[in-house]
Amino acid sequence: MSEMPAIKPEILTELQREMGLQNCQDVVERAVLELSDRLWNLENQLKKHNLPEVQRIANSLIAISQQIGLTEFASVAQSLANSISHADQTTVRAIAARLLRVGEVSLFYALRFHDDFG
C-alpha cells in the first residue's frame, strides 16, 4: 500500500526565511532524525503492548512533525493517540501500521523537498 505525504511548504519557507537556508536544513534534518528515532521506539513499545508510552510517543510525533509541515504524518499520529484513548487494540494496530508507512515516506519526502526547495 502506497502513502502520499502531505507537506505545508509555507512552513519550510517561513523557517528558511527566519533562519537561513543552512540553519533551516539543519533543523529539518534533526527533526527527521528525531522522528525516525521516535517511530522506531513507538514500534518497540507496540510490541511490548505499552500503550501509555505509545500514546506519549504519538503526541511527541505530532508536535515535531507539525513544526516542519508534515501535515499527514501529524494527522495519522493524532489518530493513533486518539485510538489509544478508546483502547481498541485492532484500531491501534491498524493506525500504527499506517503511521509507520506514512512516516517512512514523509521523512524521506521532507528531506528531498527541502533539498529541491532550498
Q: What is the pLDDT of residues 93-102, one digit of tens each?
A: 999 999 999 9
Determine phi and psi for 70, rounding to 5 degrees: -85, 80
| pLDDT mean across residues, the chain | 88
The answer to whether residue 2 sits within a structural domain is no
As for how many domains the chain has, the answer is 1
Please compute the mean of the pLDDT values over residues 55-73 and round it to a whole number. Answer: 95
The answer to whether residue 1 sits within a structural domain is no
90, pLDDT greater than 90: no
User: Residue 73: which domain range?
Assistant: 9-117
Give the rounded percent of residues in the chain with a pLDDT score beyond 70: 91
The answer to whether residue 66 sits within a structural domain is yes
The answer to whether residue 4 sits within a structural domain is no
Q: What CATH number is attached to the domain comprising 24?
A: 1.20.120
Torsion-angle region of 67 (φ positive above 0: left; ψ -120 to 50: alpha; else: beta): alpha
Reported confidence tier of residue 46, pLDDT bands at 50, 70, 90: very high
